Chain A
């Protein structure tokens, strides 16, 4: 009889970011114009209440309140009145009604107000949010209704279990704020006070390049071409994975599985890059139908952070060289920095850390927003299969999986799917230790041994927890963002508390796609 849907005509938000519970206020004692004022409106402008259908003497309004104690009073036809039959106290404003809103739980039986509950009719609430209904006072025209809130299973997606469902308005507000922040700040702010950039000449041999990456601990380097006088590309861990895997290079005319040491020594980066084009990877055709190299994805120091973030996401790269071009037609290039999404995220976190209420979406647990890649649950339709490997799997299969699944890391799990370690593309540089790459066969070394190589070289990284950062599904988004903002952390593995069973992965690009709405 009474419309139990959410009538959010008169919303009044409490502290942004906390849970707001819709509450219906009833004035059953008649009148012509009735409005409501309370501690939740700071006792200012009263909110007009509307007469109920079929019971014109009963006025109602639904407000969204945070949990806690509230006081309220009704303004009826020019006079302040309180409802005698509801709990009331004497306060600063005379006698006021008071109400306590509990933090909502599913399957909660409401009724924190009036104990009079005779004459019941169970009404199943078919809304997604828990709604506390005040018990209506019996009048000559109306029946008493006792309402129990339940969650209907079909409205609950099991993957998104947070009881604090976020509103679209919160999400849009957060996205707008972040977008305007990113548009007004430039890459110059990301630059450290005193930074260091390593670059390689494109005519350097691949083997020496490998060693430089390993010694300096770099995941990628920009490539400088002396002849052209500019930066032409980058060399990253993925290149080494491909070099080790693919039979080499059609230009040199050699065949066979792995590159021998001499071949690596003479094979220059530029020759490799040309050969790579013929491997059908990220190929673009120029006007004559010949494959042409992908232009270097770069940015300038005065570009806005939003442009750079979108560039990174659209081109699916991890790092963008920041190049300052001066001189005629930008012919003189000065490299300043290698920017990645984690730098931008750090900037965002730093700026909004102390005003968290301005980004309400950040308080939501990550399980309730569509973020990251999750292991499909039993009974759910299989979306993208989730890549995981045992430590006994061969290195060759790991590298194959990295390339085919187009992911940057694979969790290494034991038989119970509990997280042990993580193998990322950048771990490939550990093979440079003692020139392991020339002596191993990819299919004979397993992942565990490959990770050992890396740990021997960098003893400070021996501790497992530092290598793979973890989080829980109930962690709020701002906590996940702060962890990802640490340099060197590009992904978080979502684990189950206690058992460390892998439930999903959230990467930097997932977070940015969500925040920017792309």
Chain B
């Protein structure tokens, strides 16, 4: 279980290599039987053993770790065990460890987000009349305000390593934005944000305007 990144700085654990990156709170759980459960991991090179706290039938501990891939295993009543329901790996000597792949962000769970489903077409017929000159004289409808929240307007960063873009709101996906004249008199920039599986890509294409 992961809690989304809150930019926490490291708190209680005092090991050397926490200097690189914000700590991400993560929960380690043992849901099989036992009286006393502790965990050791590669986050501090297997130096310390931490006892898990019992809550009902499960044993849990909260750790704050920088993003990375860690191996760990449980000491249950004096025996080394790994959790069979969690990802695990085996080393050359035949020892099995659980694996924790801690990402900096929580990826979208594709099966659970209903906004990925395109809405049904509205129940209407295609018998509207064509637009006349009167219609064009009226003010166009206002752009829905949430469309302003496009990533395209994030100012270009001049840092060597630009900060990562935030995740776009689903409402701005698949809309085409246009910017004229900023990069040159006859250059237009077209931008759009799409989803690819669980990741988001914003593409900007610069074209020249031809007469």
A binds B: yes
Where the two chains meet, the residues of A that have a C-beta atom closer than 8 Å to any C-beta of B are: 188, 191-201, 203-205, 207-209, 211-212, 215-217, 224, 226, 301, 324, 334-337, 350-355, 358, 457-458, 460-461, 466, 486-488
User: B66-86 vs A: 1/0 string, CB under 8 Å?
Assistant: 011111000000000000000
State which of B156, B165, B199 has its C-beta within 8 Å of the C-beta of A191: B199
Query: Given contacts A200-B205, A204-B208, is CB(A336)–CB(B167) below 8 Å?
Result: no
Would you give the shortest CB distance from B55 to chain A, in whole angstroms? 27
Query: Given contacts A194-B164, A460-B160, is CB(A354)–CB(B42) below 8 Å?
Result: yes
State which of A196, A301, A486, A487 has its C-beta within 8 Å of the C-beta of B196: A301
State which of B68, B105, B166, B207 has its C-beta within 8 Å of the C-beta of A353: B68
Q: Could you say which residues of chain B place their CB within 8 Å of the CB of A337?
A: 201
Would you give the shortest CB distance from B29 to chain A, in whole angstroms? 20
Query: Given contacts A201-B205, A208-B208, A358-B91, is CB(A195)–CB(B69) below 8 Å?
Result: no
Q: Judging by beta carbons under 8 Å apart, are B183 and A212 in contact? A: yes
Q: Judging by beta carbons under 8 Å apart, are A336 and B205 in contact? A: no
Q: Could you say which residues of chain A place their CB within 8 Å of the CB of B164?
A: 192-194
Where the two chains meet, the residues of B that have a C-beta atom closer than 8 Å to any C-beta of A are: 17, 41-43, 45, 67-71, 91, 104-105, 107, 151, 156-162, 164-168, 183-184, 186-187, 194, 196-197, 199-208, 210
State which of B165, B199, B200, B206 has its C-beta within 8 Å of the C-beta of A200: B206
Q: Could you say which residues of chain A place their CB within 8 Å of the CB of B161?
A: 486-488
Q: Judging by beta carbons under 8 Å apart, are A208 and B105 in contact? A: no
Q: Judging by beta carbons under 8 Å apart, are B200 and A194 in contact? A: yes
Would you give the shortest CB distance from B24 to chain A, in whole angstroms? 13
Q: Judging by beta carbons under 8 Å apart, are B68 and A354 in contact? A: yes
Can you give 9 contacting A-B residue pairs, CB < 8 Å? A193-B104, A193-B105, A193-B200, A194-B201, A196-B165, A204-B187, A212-B206, A217-B157, A355-B69
Query: Given contacts A193-B199, A208-B184, A211-B183, is CB(A198)–CB(B91) below 8 Å?
Result: no
Distance between Cα atoms of A457 and B208 in the complex (Å): 26
Most A-side CB within 10 Å, residue of B105, B161, B166, B201: B201
**Among all A-B residue pairs, the 3 with the closest Cβ atoms:** A354-B42, A201-B207, A194-B165
Q: Could you say which residues of chain B place their CB within 8 Å of the CB of A198?
A: 203-206
Distance between Cα atoms of A75 and B27 in the complex (Å): 49
Q: Judging by beta carbons under 8 Å apart, are B206 and A195 in contact? A: no
Q: Could you say which residues of chain A place their CB within 8 Å of the CB of B159?
A: 460
Q: Could you say which residues of chain B place their CB within 8 Å of the CB of A352?
A: 69
Q: Judging by beta carbons under 8 Å apart, are A488 and B160 in contact? A: yes
Q: Could you say which residues of chain A place their CB within 8 Å of the CB of B210?
A: 203
Query: Given contacts A194-B165, A486-B161, is CB(A354)–CB(B71) below 8 Å?
Result: yes
Q: Could you say which residues of chain B place their CB within 8 Å of the CB of A205?
A: 208
Q: Judging by beta carbons under 8 Å apart, are B208 and A194 in contact? A: no
Q: Judging by beta carbons under 8 Å apart, are B202 and A188 in contact? A: no
Distance between Cα atoms of A400 and B151 in the complex (Å): 40
Q: Judging by beta carbons under 8 Å apart, are A457 and B68 in contact? A: no
Q: Judging by beta carbons under 8 Å apart, are A336 and B71 in contact? A: no
When C-beta atoms are compared, the residue in chain B nearest to A214 turns out to be B183
Q: Judging by beta carbons under 8 Å apart, are B67 and A350 in contact? A: yes
When C-beta atoms are compared, the residue in chain A nearest to B21 turns out to be A350
Q: Judging by beta carbons under 8 Å apart, are B156 and A216 in contact? A: yes
Q: Judging by beta carbons under 8 Å apart, are A196 and B71 in contact? A: no
Would you give the shortest CB distance from A174 to chain B, in whole angstroms? 13
Q: Could you say which residues of chain A place their CB within 8 Å of the CB of B202?
A: 194-197
Query: Given contacts A193-B105, A193-B199, A194-B200, is CB(A355)–CB(B42) below 8 Å?
Result: yes
Query: Given contacts A350-B69, A355-B71, A488-B160, is CB(A192)–CB(B165) below 8 Å?
Result: yes
Most A-side CB within 10 Å, residue of B91, B161, B165, B205: B205
When C-beta atoms are compared, the residue in chain B nearest to A177 turns out to be B92
Would you give the shortest CB distance from A352 to chain B, in whole angstroms? 8
Q: Judging by beta carbons under 8 Å apart, are A195 and B208 in contact? A: no
Most B-side CB within 10 Å, residue of A194, A203, A216, A301: A194
Distance between Cα atoms of A146 and B71 in the complex (Å): 47
Q: Could you say which residues of chain A place their CB within 8 Å of the CB of B184?
A: 207-208, 211
Q: Could you say which residues of chain A place their CB within 8 Å of the CB of B158?
A: 217, 457-458, 460
Q: Could you say which residues of chain B place their CB within 8 Å of the CB of A208?
A: 183-184, 186-187, 206, 208
Most B-side CB within 10 Å, residue of A334, A337, A355, A457: A355
Would you give the shortest CB distance from B101 to chain A, in whole angstroms? 8
Query: Given contacts A334-B196, A354-B71, is CB(A194)–CB(B204) below 8 Å?
Result: no
Would you give the shortest CB distance from A17 to chain B, in whole angstroms? 11
Q: Could you say which residues of chain B place their CB within 8 Å of the CB of A215?
A: 156, 183
Distance between Cα atoms of A454 and B194 in the complex (Å): 34
Distance between Cα atoms of A200 and B203 in the complex (Å): 10
Q: Judging by beta carbons under 8 Å apart, are B208 and A196 in contact? A: no
Q: Judging by beta carbons under 8 Å apart, are B199 and A335 in contact? A: no
Q: Could you say which residues of chain A place their CB within 8 Å of the CB of B205?
A: 198-201, 224
Distance between Cα atoms of A238 and B69 in the complex (Å): 37
Q: Could you say which residues of chain A place their CB within 8 Å of the CB of B197?
A: 188
Q: Could you say which residues of chain B place their CB within 8 Å of the CB of A355?
A: 42, 69, 71
Would you give the shortest CB distance from B159 to chain A, in whole angstroms? 6
Q: Judging by beta carbons under 8 Å apart, are B156 and A194 in contact? A: no
When C-beta atoms are compared, the residue in chain B nearest to A224 turns out to be B205
Q: Could you say which residues of chain A place their CB within 8 Å of the CB of B41?
A: 354
State which of A197, A466, A487, A488 has its C-beta within 8 Å of the C-beta of B204: A197
Q: Judging by beta carbons under 8 Å apart, are B166 and A354 in contact? A: no
Q: Could you say which residues of chain A place their CB within 8 Å of the CB of B105?
A: 193
Would you give the shortest CB distance from A211 to chain B, in whole angstroms? 6
Q: Could you say which residues of chain B place their CB within 8 Å of the CB of A193?
A: 104-105, 107, 164, 167, 199-200
Distance between Cα atoms of A188 and B107 in the complex (Å): 13
